[in-house]
C-alpha cells in the first residue's frame, strides 16, 4: 500500500513526518511504502493533528487534498482530547466515543527503548527490587488516590512541573533517566490515564519488560496484543486493595513482564509501528471508511464537549481582559 504523508505547514523541525519516514526505512515488514505523489497513493495520511492548535483541525479538513481526495484521507491522531474530524487511527479516542467503522486504536508511533536514557546499550541485568512504582503528575483525578499508596517496596513520586515531551521543563533529562531507572527496578508500573485515556508510560513499561497496571476506564486497547496475559486493568478511583492484588500476582511478574516485552516488539517497537498503523488504515480503507465518513466529522459527545471547553476558555479570557482593564 502506498501512503502519502500530507503536511499542514508545520516546520520540519517540529513535524513528525521526518520521523515517520525514518520508521519506514527500518520497517522490518517492508509491505507499505511512503509515496510522495498524493495522486498515485492509496491513502493520504495527515499525521500532525497533535501539532495543530485548532482542535477542529481546519488546516486539515479545509485543505485542498481533503476537498479533492476525501475518499482517501485519514489521520493519525495522538491528541489527548481528540475529535474525529476524519477517519483514522487514534491513540486516546475514548471508548464512549469510539466508532469502529471509522476508527482504530493504536499506540504512539515512536517509543524509544528506556535503557538508552540510562546511557546503556542494553537493558540492565539487575532483578527488580520494587513491587511497584509511579512517577507522575496529578493530570487526572484518577491519579490522586495513587499518591496515598504506601508500601516498603514502592516508590511513588510526583515530579513538579515535569512534562515528558517538553525538553524545557525542569530537570527534563534527569527526570527521564529517573523514570527509566524506576521502570527496570519495578515488577509492576502504575499506568494511570492523564489528560488522555492513553499514556506513553504504558508502552515504555512494555518496552522495559515490566507489567503495566492500566488505570483508564475509557481507554480502548489496540487490537493485536493478548493484553490479558501481561497487563492488569484496574478501575479508576479505587486504590484500596491494589497493593494486596499486586502482592498476590508478584510470583507471576517475571512471566508477565516477558510477555509484555514480546508484545511490544511485535506490535509497537520502532521497526514495526509504521507497519501496524498502515495495516489499521488499510482495514479502514478496505471498508470504505473515508467514503462514508460524514463531511462535517462526527458530531458526538467529544465534539460538543470540546466546543463547550473552548467557549468556556474564551469566556474566561475575556473576563480576565476586562478585569485587567479595570485595574489600569
Q: What are the residue ranges spanned by the domains of the chain?
A: 2-109+273-313, 114-268
From residue 209, alpha-carbon distances to 65, 133, 170, 217 in Å are 42, 14, 28, 23
**Residue in the block written with cell 504504558:** 202
Q: Which residues pair with 123 in a beta bridge?
A: none
Output 325 or 282, whichever has higher pLDDT.
282
Spatial CA neighbour of 93 closest among 201, 221, 225: 221
Average pLDDT over residues 112-128: 94
The per-residue pLDDT for 325 is: 60
Spatial CA neighbour of 84 closest among 307, 296, 245, 305: 296
The per-residue pLDDT for 168 is: 78
Average pLDDT over residues 243-263: 98
Look at 29-43, 204-218, 311-325 and tell me which has the smallest mean pLDDT: 311-325
252 has pLDDT over 70 = yes
Q: What is the DSSP letter of 209?
A: T
Q: What is the DSSP letter of 169?
A: S
End-to-end CA gap in the chain: 61
Classify burial at 166, counting beta carbons within 10 Å of its beta carbon; exposed 0-12, middle 13-18, buried 19 or more.
exposed
Pairing of strands 43-46, 88-90: unpaired
Classify burial at 317, counting beta carbons within 10 Å of its beta carbon; exposed 0-12, middle 13-18, buried 19 or more.
exposed
Assign 15 a pLDDT band (cuts: 50, 70, 90).
very high
Per residue in 268-311, pLDDT (tens digit) is 999 999 999 999 999 999 999 999 999 899 987 778 877 777 76
The per-residue pLDDT for 318 is: 67
Number of Cβ atoms within 10 Å of the Cβ of 121: 8
Q: What is the mean pLDDT of the chain?
A: 93
The per-residue pLDDT for 315 is: 62
The verdict on domain 2-109+273-313 having CATH code 3.30.420 is no
Look at 80-84, 102-106, 299-303 and tell me which has the smallest mean pLDDT: 299-303
Domains 2-109+273-313 and 114-268 share a fold: yes
Q: Rounded to the nearest 5°, which phi and psi values hold at 66?
A: -70, -40
Output 162 or 208, whichever has higher pLDDT.
208
The per-residue pLDDT for 174 is: 87
146 has pLDDT over 60 = yes
The per-residue pLDDT for 67 is: 95
Output 327 or 187, whichever has higher pLDDT.
187
Name the fold adopted by 114-268: Rossmann fold (3.40.50)
pTM of the model: 0.92
216: left (phi over 0), alpha (psi -120 to 50) or beta: beta
Average pLDDT over residues 223-240: 96
The per-residue pLDDT for 128 is: 97
Spatial CA neighbour of 58 closest among 233, 310, 245, 316: 310
Task: Indicate the helix (H) or strand (E) that contains 318.
Answer: helix 301-327
Task: Indicate the helix (H) or strand (E) that contains 172.
Answer: helix 172-185
* Dist CA 211 CA 132 (whole Å): 9
Query: 52 and 76 in contact (C-beta within 8 Å)?
Result: no
Query: Residues in the chain, how many?
Result: 328
Output 13 or 323, whichever has higher pLDDT.
13
The per-residue pLDDT for 320 is: 63
The per-residue pLDDT for 170 is: 75
The per-residue pLDDT for 186 is: 98
Spatial CA neighbour of 82 closest among 113, 60, 110: 60
Amino acid at each position: 500500500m502506498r501512503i502519502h504523508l500530507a503536511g499542514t505547514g508545520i516546520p520540519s523541525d517540529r513535524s513528525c513526518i521526518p520521523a515517520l519516514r525514518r520508521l519506514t526505512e527500518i520497517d522490518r515488514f517492508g509491505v507499505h511504502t511512503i509515496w510522495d505523489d498524493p495522486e498515485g497513493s492509496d491513502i493520504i495520511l495527515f499525521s500532525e493533528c497533535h501539532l495543530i492548535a485548532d482542535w477542529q483541525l481546519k488546516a486539515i479538513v479545509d485543505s485542498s487534498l481533503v476537498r479533492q481526495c476525501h475518499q482517501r484521507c485519514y489521520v493519525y491522531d495522538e491528541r489527548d482530547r481528540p475529535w474525529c474530524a476524519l477517519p483514522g487511527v487514534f491513540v486516546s479516542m475514548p471508548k464512549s466515543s469510539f466508532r469502529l467503522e471509522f476508527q482504530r486504536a493504536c499506540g504512539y508511533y515512536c517509543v524509544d527503548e528506556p535503557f538508552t536514557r540510562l546511557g546503556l546499550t542494553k537493558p540492565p541485568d539487575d532483578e527488580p527490587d520494587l513491587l511497584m512504582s509511579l512517577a507522575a503528575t496529578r493530570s487526572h483525578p484518577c491519579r490522586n488516590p495513587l499518591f496515598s499508596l504506601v508500601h516498603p517496596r514502592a516508590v511513588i513520586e510526583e515530579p513538579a512541573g515535569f512534562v515528558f515531551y517538553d525538553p524545557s521543563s525542569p530537570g527534563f533529562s534527569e527526570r527521564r533517566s529517573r523514570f527509566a531507572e524506576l521502570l527496570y527496578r519495578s515488577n509492576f508500573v502504575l499506568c494511570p490515564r492523564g489528560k488522555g485515556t492513553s499514556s506513553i508510560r504504558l508502552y515504555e513499561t512494555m518496552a522495559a519488560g515490566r507489567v503495566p497496571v492500566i488505570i483508564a476506564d475509557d481507554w480502548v486497547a489496540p487490537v493485536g496484543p493478548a493484553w490479558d496475559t501481561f497487563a492488569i486493568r484496574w478501575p479508576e478511583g479505587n486504590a484500596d486493595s491494589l497493593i494486596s492484588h499486586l502482592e498476590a500476582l508478584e510470583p507471576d511478574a517475571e512471566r508477565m513482564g516477558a510477555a509484555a516485552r514480546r508484545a511490544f516488539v511485535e506490535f509497537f517497537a520502532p521497526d514495526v509501528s509504521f507497519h501496524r498503523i498502515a495495516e489499521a488504515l488499510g482495514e479502514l480503507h478496505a471498508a470504505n471508511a473515508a467514503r462514508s465518513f460524514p463531511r462535517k466529522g462526527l458530531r458526538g459527545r467529544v465534539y460538543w464537549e470540546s466546543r463547550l471547553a473552548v467557549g468556556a476558555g474564551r469566556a474566561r479570557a475575556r473576563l480576565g481582559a476586562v478585569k485587567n482593564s479595570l485595574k489600569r
